Structure 1
Amino acid sequence: MPVQTSRPRRHLFAVVMVAVAAAIVVFGVMNRRTQANQLQELAAGQALATVALVAPSSITHAALQLPGRIEAWSRAPIYARVSGYLTHWTVDIGGSVKAGQVLAEIETPDLDQQLLQARAELVTARSAANQAANTARRWQLLAQSQAVSQQEVEERTSDLASRRSVVNALQANVDRVQVMQSYKRLVAPFDGIVTERNTDIGSLINVGMTPGSELFVVSDVRRLRVYVSVPQRQLALIRPGGLAQIFVPERPGKAYAATVESLSQAVDSGSGAMRVQLSVDNAQGELLPGAFANVQFESSGNANGVGLPPSALIIGKNGVHVAIVDAGGIVELKPVMIARDYGAVIELAGGLAMGEQVIANPPDGLASGDQVRVATAPKG
């Protein structure tokens, strides 16, 4: 009886041990399968590029303000064309003048003597030419009676032509000296004001056209030019015919309307700026040539411009693109056009709308259809 009782127990124990072993095997297989799935998911996650997003910002264009220099519309330095002594002047600095008005007169004793000498030489040459003409006429009469040879007649005729040439040369010299004498009177070339007078009565006047040797400076200030150096970054804002406002320190709060006349069409390599010329009406005479001014250009841009940091742009042989990410993490490369570069922000002319999610720093080789993983929330 004891032996018969122990056999069922041994069989039961064996069955339990087999069941436990089977459970252990099944648990191990399932655990390994779970770990394998986890490894696959981890590998797949690591294969996706992790990117940060940035949202396009709205750009409001502020008025461009730059320093400028006011200059007269026309400025004429008056130099001496003849030497002598200043006898008198008629207009002082700040005086208004008309075109052709006498500013000063120069006494020219040396030039006066040159004119007397030139006239005397001309009289002598005319007398010799008249005598040569009479001689040639007599020899032509003698040639008709065969009293002289034809060669002698031609010699007298040639001498007459030579003396007449001398007369013409001396006449031209007299005319030249007379023209030079007309420069004894310094006159205004156009209507304006005298902005400089650098001579006085009795001063020795020498011929010269070097800077600083001008006797007077006449400026037309009814209309003025304003010169501004516009940095290359802001050149897209400036167009011929554009409007601007001029402000000067001596008249605070008062603005003067100006118009962009022209651009130099060349960027100075030293300053990185282009020279822009504006015109401003100065009928009241309130603006002064040579003065400093603040120039405020009217904005010509779109007040609702879209901007992105430069790092968000993909620049390649096919142009400029940005990488857009949808809700599922799928990338789309969209072509855009750069309107203006503000340094920290690039304004785009089109191709991107507000609210779209853009990759802040697109990785190399990114293409449309790729899937990425978003690491952070978009930056607004």
Structure 2
Amino acid sequence: MSAETNNARTNPSQNAPAHDAPSSEHHESAPEQKPIKAGHAITAVVVLLLVLGILAVVGILPRQHAMAALATHTNEQAAPSVIAIAPKPGQPVQVIILPGNVTSFTDAPIYARTAGYLTKWYFDIGARVKKGALLAEIASPEVDQQLAQAQADLNTAEANANNARIQAGRYKDLVASNAVSQQDTDTFVNQASSTSAQVKSAEANVQRLKELTSFEKIYAPFDGVVTARNVDVGQLIDTGAAKELFHMQAVQTLRVYTNLPSVFSGSIKKGETIDLTLVEHPGQVTHGKLVRTADAIDPVSRTLLVEIDVDNRDGKLLAGSLAQVHFNVNPVGNAFVLPVSALIFRNQGLQVGIVKGDTAHTVPVTIGQDDGRTVQVITGITKDDKVIQDPPDSLIDGEKVHVLTPQEIQTARGGN
């Protein structure tokens, strides 16, 4: 046998069929497929996350955009729509007309100073009475009896004081001759002083009760007219200000109060004649005299309180009326004409609303002529301001507003 044959027999593995080798390699490489499957799974998860992220972005972004658009639309709808107009130049103000309150020169409620029943009244509303006129009478028997008692006590005190004074004088004479002791003399002298003080106390009590009984009659405190009578015969009257019996006003001279804008405070002087008109007397001009001012500007309204006295001895004017007070003033600054509807009446005084951009601001103004339809604004605005024509009552400074365009205004008014 040849050597190759022997080698084949001794080492059979070397003579194994060639196709066995691949089988061995196949068995050894089978475990390497596991990491390949894990990589596929990770890739699938990443792809899935990417898909979910894309879907989330695609779903959230439009929703956020819609919410932002809704918020913007809501804010736009919440902002009030206003019409902004430019102020028209007006003539310089030379006469200013202001409302004035007509009041009586003296005004007094009348109360009872003593309690009792009203027995009679003498004057009703509208009656013109003189100072000291008897208005009513009150029956107060308790006070009358107290006065009688006090008078009796005064008589007793005077008798005791007279007796003590006589005794003191007698003992002063006797002590000089040592007929009585000094101690007894001092006792009677002190008793005389004490009884004299009791007399003064009793006199004061009598005087007090006399004054109370005098209040049983109610008199007019000044010349004037009775404007109210709140009691009738038989009513129980209490002491004090719990119930007003009468009300009186002195109307021979009337006071007219008005508030002059501070910008015109230098145009007036005390003693000058002021014209007044009242709706109760159309076409008639009443003259008054500027008698006094507050001599101080109100820091809230920036106005000067002015008093004008009017002679009313003819009784034509009534207290409580509203007068139009005409002041001749020096021209100050430029005047602008606005519709009355542009004015805002607040506790801070007259204001108007102006627009800067899309923001509203309220500014205080001073007015001149007012014809009921338009008003002249003297201070507070300029020719470049945009004034809100009909400001809402809820308008506040710094509020966002929507200024209507001419097309929107025409549409809102139903125009073509």
Q: Shorter-chain TM-score: what band?
A: 0.5 to 0.7
Which of 253, 265, 286 is the matching residue for 1:223? 253
Equivalent residue runs for 1:14-163 within 5 Å:
60-163=92-195
User: Aligned pair in 2 of structure 1 residues 74, 147: CA closer, same or farther (>3 Å)?
Assistant: same
- Which ranges in structure 2 are unaligned for 5 or more consecutive residues? 1-88, 337-376, 384-416
What is the SS of the residue equivalent to 1:283? coil
Q: C-alpha distance in 2, partners of 1:80/1:308?
A: 56
**Paired residues of 1:90 and 1:103 also in contact (CA < 8 A):** yes
Aligned to 1:301: 330
Q: C-alpha distance in 2, partners of 1:237/1:147?
A: 91
AA matched with 2:210: Q
Aligned to 2:239: 207
Q: C-alpha distance in 2, partners of 1:167/1:184?
A: 26
Shift of 1:78: 1.8
Q: C-alpha distance in 1, partners of 2:176/2:162?
A: 22
**Paired residues of 1:263 and 1:274 also in contact (CA < 8 A):** yes
Determine if the alignment matches structure 1 residue 342 to structure 2 residue 379. Answer: yes
Aligned to 1:284: 314
Q: Per residue, is there more helix in 1 or in 2?
A: 2
User: Aligned pair in 2 of structure 1 residues 78, 135: CA closer, same or farther (>3 Å)?
Assistant: same
AA matched with 2:255: R
What is the SS of the residue equivalent to 1:246? strand
User: Aligned pair in 2 of structure 1 residues 117, 306: CA closer, same or farther (>3 Å)?
Assistant: closer
Of residues 223-232 and 269-278 in structure 1, the stretch that sits farther from structure 2 once superposed is: 269-278
User: Aligned pair in 2 of structure 1 residues 209, 343: CA closer, same or farther (>3 Å)?
Assistant: same
TM-score (norm 2): 0.56
Q: C-alpha distance in 2, partners of 1:249/1:280?
A: 16
AA matched with 2:206: V
CA RMSD of aligned residues (A): 2.6
Shift of 1:141: 4.1
Aligned to 2:211: 179
Question: In the comparison of the two structures, how many residue pairs are matched?
Answer: 255
AA matched with 1:110: E
AA matched with 2:96: L
Structure with larger Rg:
2
Shift of 1:225: 0.3
Which of 240, 248, 271 is the matching residue for 2:278? 248
AA matched with 1:342: T
Shift of 1:134: 3.0
Aligned to 1:260: 290
What is the SS of the residue equivalent to 1:269? coil
User: Aligned pair in 2 of structure 1 residues 161, 275: CA closer, same or farther (>3 Å)?
Assistant: same
- Which ranges in structure 1 are unaligned for 5 or more consecutive residues? 1-56, 310-339, 347-380
Percent of counterpart pairs with the same letter?
A: 38
Shift of 1:271: 2.7
AA matched with 1:230: L
**Paired residues of 1:229 and 1:274 also in contact (CA < 8 A):** yes
Q: C-alpha distance in 1, partners of 2:176/2:274?
A: 88
User: Aligned pair in 2 of structure 1 residues 192, 58: CA closer, same or farther (>3 Å)?
Assistant: closer
Q: C-alpha distance in 1, partners of 2:237/2:252?
A: 31
String of CA shifts for 1:253-299, please: whole Å, max 9, x gaps.
222111211111223333332211101111221111111222122x2
Q: C-alpha distance in 2, partners of 1:342/1:138?
A: 92
Higher relative contact order (CA 8 A, sep 6+): 1
